[in-house]
Structure 1
Amino acid sequence: MSRPRSIGRLLKVYWNYVVARRSRCSYPPYRVWVESTSKCNLRCPMCPNKSLDKSQLGMMDPDLFGKIIDQIAPYVHDMNIHHRGESLLHPDLASMIAYATERGIMVKLHTNATLLDEEKSHQLVQSGLNLISFSFDGLDAETYERYRKGASFHDTVRNIRNFLKIKKKLGSSQPFAILEMMDLSEVDRRYSLRDKKEFLSKFDHLPLDRFVVKKPHNFGGNVRLTPSDDPSLRPLTPCTILWHSLVVLWNGEVVPCPQDFFGQMVLGNVQEEKLVDIFNTPELIKLRKNMLRRQVDPCGPCARCDFIRRPTALGIPLQSLRYLRK
């Protein structure tokens, strides 16, 4: 999507959300999460994946994925091919990405990189993947292995380095590579600027495009970040995600937001309905209306979500603006 069209997309969402305060959208979703799998090989303390029921664990059928791509290719700008699980567990991941990119969709992948061997690295670079972000929390083995239960600090660093070497060897500018780390300053204050520089030196002369430190989120209130973390103590700003995105779970069920980790607000199923129609179901329209009125379900994930209780600009959560710009 060109820059003018991207700006136009921002303005359209802003108009519907802030100015007109519309609950029905006259445009299709711009961004979609398509969950390749909900299974994960790690048991991280700050992720609720380990609490999913067995019935909620599975992998998306490649035929269903193809059906989704055929539906959304005419209008979706970008797609995250991840959600609750580790996407590299899916045996057909690379071919699924290739199918989406061939249809003109920008594809992004978030991974813990523990399963990123040389074969998978070659496949991902050659698939046309546009962006890959490595979730890596901790500048040393002790901290990393505390937050990434079941992973090895040294093995994961090696995997990321090898991926970047392969990207460089193949002469590819894609995927744009981001090393993403949670801001653990509230729970671990040991790290200095020198520690960060020393850690990043492991990737010197390799095509790592960006290093990002992000504030962790609470997955709709399902993770307590710090003892003092209580979203209800901060003012609520209506969430923009309802106006531009949808999430498709591995079994085809559609939920309105990636923070709905346990699928409490199922809007429909792409095996039975078109995604563009689900974007304006009565349930989602009602959810938008209630969000604009700041009347969220006290028993639902929105009431406990920290995403809608973060700093704003012109009435829009800053994190939502970052999502839309990407």
Structure 2
Amino acid sequence: NAKCVWCPNPDLTNLGAMGMALYRKIIDDYGTRGGVVTFGTFGEPLMDKHIKERIEYLKKYPKIHKIEVLTNGFFLNKKIVPVLLENGVGVDISLDELDKETFENVKKMNFDIVRNNIVNFLKANENAKQSVPINIRIKTMKTLEETTEQELFKIIAAHECSVILNSIDDNIISNWAGKLDKEAFMQKYRLTNRIKTRFTHKRFNQMNKAPCAQLWKWMVVYWDGSSVLCCADMFSQTVVGNLKSNSISEIWNGPVMKDFRKEMVNRGR
């Protein structure tokens, strides 16, 4: 529902929502193992008409010790908030710009709806019987000093949540597996490589053939059951299996994943 200027999401063509039969198959396979389930990938999970049913189904499996959603906040409304709070779902919000003009220019969404949803959610969480972890991500074209002086930042900072705040530079922006021209983006929005000596994984791994630990940590699954190599593989360039026909173990411990891990260990990216 958003069209962020630093994301090739508007160009996606393979769109859909996972059917509940496939979802149950995957969760039944995964649930007894225990771990984390994150709703996000390359869509807005709170748009999903089955999101309540999906969350409640996870509660069948006590070994799934953490459930979280990644959201832009637009659908974080009074209909879904009770579902999240009652089921202990952590919420990771990609907010980014904090003033109306810049926000609507770079995200193409209604700022007032997102702002009000977030503020109301923070209040509801503090009043809940059991609060949930909230993380708010802010990447901004403004300086950190400007951002911390903005009204919405001060409101957020007054509530129980964690905040990740970064000014946009080439450390922060992903190239989405080669689908975003970072240099063109930086030039278009007149952004500079502000801190050339500071490295995050996004820049470091593009300049050094360092192993990416995600291959040992996460399985990324699309709505159609396909599992892709990387959480940045928005266009399914590297599919490693499909949970319609494969089990989790067959993919995770299969020859394709083993070969990729071996390449990573040997710096063969």
Give, in angstroms, the shift of residue 287 of structure 1: 1.4
Q: CA deviation at 1:83?
A: 0.4
Mind listing any 5+ residue stretches in structure 2 that lack a counterpart?
Answer: 167-171, 194-201
RMSD between aligned residues: 2.3
Residue 283 of structure 1 pairs with residue 242 of structure 2: no
- For residue 294 of structure 1, report the CA deviation from its aligned partner: 2.4
User: Partner residue of 1:212?
Assistant: 164
Partner of 2:238: 265
Matches of 1:261 and 1:59 in 2, distance apart? 15
Residue 167 of structure 2 is aligned to residue 221 of structure 1 = no
* Among 186, 200, 207, the residue aligned to 1:234: 207
Give yes or no for the alignment of 1:245 onto 2:218: yes
Note closer, same or farther for the CA distance 1:284–1:158 as it changes in structure 2 (3 Å cut).
same
Query: Residue in 1 aligned with 2:95?
Result: 136
Distance 1:181 1:189, change over 3 A: closer
3-state DSSP of counterpart to 2:137 = strand
1:294 aligns with 2:253: no
The corresponding residue for 1:158 is: 116
Q: What letter corresponds to residue 155 of structure 2 in structure 1?
A: K
Preserved CA contact (<8 Å) 1:94 1:127 = no
Read off the aligned partner of 1:157 and give its amino acid letter.
R
Q: Is residue 146 from structure 1 mapped to residue 105 from structure 2 by the alignment?
A: yes
Aligned to 2:196: none
Matched to 1:289, the amino acid is K
TM-score, normalization: structure 1?
0.69
Whether 2:30 is the aligned partner of 1:72: answer: yes
One of 66, 69, 80 as aligned partner of 1:109: 69
Contact 1:95 1:127 in 2 (8 A): no
1:78 is displaced (CA, Å) by 0.8
How far apart, in 2, do the equivalents of 1:173 and 1:102 lie? 21
Unmatched tracts of structure 1, length 5 or more: 1-40, 297-326
Task: Sort the Cα spacing of 1:210 and 1:265 in 2 relative to 1 into closer, same or farther, 3 A.
Answer: same
Which of 78, 84, 94 aligns to 1:118? It is 78
Distance 1:267 1:170, change over 3 A: same
State how far apart, in whole Å, the 1-side matches of 2:213 and 2:206 are: 20
Q: Distance in 2 between matches of 1:205 and 1:102?
A: 35
How far did 1:194 drift? 6.8
In the alignment, the residues of structure 2 paired with residue 264 and residue 193 of structure 1 have an alpha-carbon distance, to the nearest angstrom, of 39
Q: Check whether the contact 1:79–1:108 (CA below 8 A) recurs between aligned residues.
A: yes
Checking the alignment, whether the CA contact within 8 Å between 2:148 and 2:154 is kept in structure 1 is no
Number of residue-to-residue matches in the alignment = 246
1:64/1:271 contact within 8 Å kept? yes
- Given that 2:98 and 2:150 are in contact with CA atoms closer than 8 Å, whether structure 1 keeps it comes out as no
The structure-2 alpha-carbon separation of the partners of 1:102 and 1:291, relative to structure 1 and needing over 3 Å to count, comes to same
* Structure possessing the higher relative contact order (Cα contacts under 8 Å, 6 or more residues apart): 1
Identity of aligned residues (%): 27
Contact 1:98/1:128 (8 A) holds in 2: no
Structure 1 residues 46 and 271: CA distance shift in structure 2, 3 A: same
SS of 2:214's equivalent? helix
